[in-house]
């Protein structure tokens, strides 16, 4: 049976060139990077080379990059580390954030460490930037945590506007850029962000490794989130995932080198799917800004289908038909709870069927045609 994969926002296929770069560190160069002997020094050199590669691509200094187990740890490190180190008493986020951010801040608010404010969003998932300015003006010593690209509805944040507001009011700004890293260029010298996050498996690298960019300031370095060793310049205890780190750097290097080509290809696929769905299904809609290529991630399309008896079984039936997609964040795919992002959009009809198609460089036009034909076929049988 033909199977197609349109869940690249959850994870991406490993690039063969990335695996090739990782293999020597998995088989031959096995030393501990903290060891001072020759075996260790070879591996330490590979880690530092990877750090320089990531830093160069982001226009950062190597000392501003440190490696983690993924985006969730990097988000937690930035949020909890800055709140603990700087004595921050107020945080601002939105109900559309990934749970790595949302659950962390809600926990800190519940335990009394911070007061938490949520930005208003409209029916298309657009944030109220005016409210952000008002909250910052009323709450000095704030942390702002807003993602660059939403992993479910694809909305893009106005990074420059948020950066200007945070600088104006002296707020610390953390941005989860997991969905946009490797798909958009991030120049940290131009951005006014204090913390930036990446995860390798979102741009054809290995799972289980990510990084945090931390802007140098006149403040002290944030306290580590994980204690137990002096690794990563005393910022993250634990032996480094060496082959993961090398794979991350190689994957990001490839992503930057081929970004324009891949964007053109993926935007073509997304436009093709939008047009075909509109032609095949009456009253098809698109959640958030995901159908607007200028305002959304070019890798994400959130589709809303008219309500039918099969709406609650839509993803299951698509899987049976050979199509791997999601209805929201894959991090909640085993839960009975619906998407918190879609649930936060005012006026959204809960009876409609929702599918998130997320595209990658390995997808093809034939796969788009196959997926749309199957969705249209299922819908026709149940109207």
At residue 205, φ and ψ (nearest 5 deg) are -110, -175
pLDDT at residue 139, as a whole number? 95
Tell whether the model's pLDDT for residue 332 goes beyond 70: no
Q: Which of 331, 362, 376, 382 is catalytic?
A: 331
Res 22 pLDDT > 90: yes
| CB neighbourhood size of 66 (10 A) | 22
Q: Is the model's pLDDT at 383 over the cut of 90?
A: no
Asked which of 183-192, 313-322, 330-339 is least confident by mean pLDDT, the reply is 330-339
Domains assigned to the chain: 4-12+258-382 (3.90.1150.10), 16-257 (3.40.640.10)
- Looking at every residue in the chain, the average pLDDT score rounds to 94
Say whether pLDDT at 63 is over 90.
Answer: yes
Average pLDDT over residues 155-184: 97
Q: Known catalytic residue: 166?
A: no
Confidence bin at 312 (pLDDT 50/70/90) = confident
Q: What is the pLDDT of residues 84-127, one digit of tens each?
A: 999 999 999 999 999 999 999 999 999 999 999 999 999 999 99
pLDDT, one tens digit per residue, over 121-165 is 999 999 999 999 999 999 989 999 999 999 999 999 999 999 999
249 pLDDT above the threshold of 70: yes
- Could you tell me the pLDDT band of residue 310, with boundaries at 50, 70 and 90? confident
pLDDT at 314: 87
User: Which band of pLDDT confidence, cut at 50, 70 and 90, is reported for residue 292?
Assistant: very high
Give mean pLDDT, residues 161-175: 97
Per-residue pLDDT at 328? 62
% of the chain residues with pLDDT over 90:
87
Taking only the tens place, the pLDDT of each residue in 186-231 is 999 999 999 999 999 999 999 999 999 999 988 888 999 999 988 9
In the prediction, which pLDDT does 119 show? 98
Per-residue pLDDT at 212 = 98
Query: Which pLDDT score, from 0 to 100, does residue 219 have?
Result: 84
Q: State yes or no: pLDDT of 67 exceeds 70.
A: yes
**Arithmetic mean of pLDDT, 316-340:** 78
pLDDT at 68 over 70: yes
pLDDT (tens digit per residue) in 255-285: 999 999 999 999 999 999 999 999 999 899 9
Model pLDDT, residue 264: 98
Q: Which of 253-262's residues contact partners 24+ apart within 8 Å by CB, and which partners?
A: 253/53, 253/57, 254/15, 254/17, 254/18, 254/204, 255/182, 255/183, 255/203, 255/204, 256/57, 256/182, 256/185, 258/361, 259/182, 259/183, 259/184, 259/185, 262/183, 262/361
pLDDT at 38 over 70: yes
> Residue 98: what pLDDT?
97
| 3 state SS for 240-292 | CCHHHHHHHHHHHHHHHHCHHHHHHHHHHHHHHHHHHHHHHCCCCEECCCCCC
């Amino acid at each position: 049976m033909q199977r197609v994969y349109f869940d690249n926002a959850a994870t991406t296929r490993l690039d063969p060139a990335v695996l090739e770069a990782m293999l020597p560190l998995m088989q031959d160069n096995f030393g501990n990077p903290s060891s001072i002997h020759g075996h260790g020094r070879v591996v330490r050199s590979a880690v530092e080379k990877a750090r320089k590669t990531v830093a160069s691509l982001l226009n950062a200094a190597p000392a501003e990059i440190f490696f983690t187990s993924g985006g969730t740890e990097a988000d937690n490190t930035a949020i909890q580390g800055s709140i603990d180190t700087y004595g921050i008493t107020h945080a601002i986020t939105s109900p559309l954030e990934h749970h790595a951010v949302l659950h962390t801040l809600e926990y800190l608010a519940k335990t009394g460490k911070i007061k938490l404010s949520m930005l208003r969003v409209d029916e298309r998932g657009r944030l109220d930037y005016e409210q952000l300015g008002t909250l910052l003006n009323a709450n000095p010593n704030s942390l702002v945590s807003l993602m660059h690209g939403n992993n479910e509805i694809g909305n893009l944040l106005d990074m420059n506007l948020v950066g200007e507001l945070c600088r104006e009011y002296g707020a610390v700004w953390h941005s989860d850029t997991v969905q946009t890293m490797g798909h958009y260029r991030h120049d940290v010298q131009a951005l006014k962000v204090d913390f930036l996050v990446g995860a390798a498996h979102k741009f054809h690298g290995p799972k289980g490794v990510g990084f945090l960019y931390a802007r140098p300031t006149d403040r002290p370095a944030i306290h580590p989130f994980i204690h137990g060793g002096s690794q990563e310049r005393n910022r993250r205890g634990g032996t480094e995932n060496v082959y993961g780190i090398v794979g991350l750097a190689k994957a990001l290097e490839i992503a930057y080198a081929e970004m324009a080509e891949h964007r053109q290809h993926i935007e073509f696929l997304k436009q093709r799917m939008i047009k075909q769905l509109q032609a095949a299904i009456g009253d098809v809609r698109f959640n958030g800004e995901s159908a607007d290529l200028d305002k959304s991630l070019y890798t994400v399309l959130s589709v809303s289908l008219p309500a039918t008896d099969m709406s609650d079984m839509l993803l299951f039936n698509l899987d049976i038909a050979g199509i791997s997609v999601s209805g929201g964040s894959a991090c909640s795919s085993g839960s009975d709870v619906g998407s918190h992002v879609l649930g936060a959009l005012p006026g959204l009809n809960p009876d409609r069927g929702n599918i998130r198609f997320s595209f990658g460089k390995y997808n093809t036009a034939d796969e788009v045609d196959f997926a749309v034909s199957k969705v249209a076929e299922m819908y026709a049988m149940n109207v």
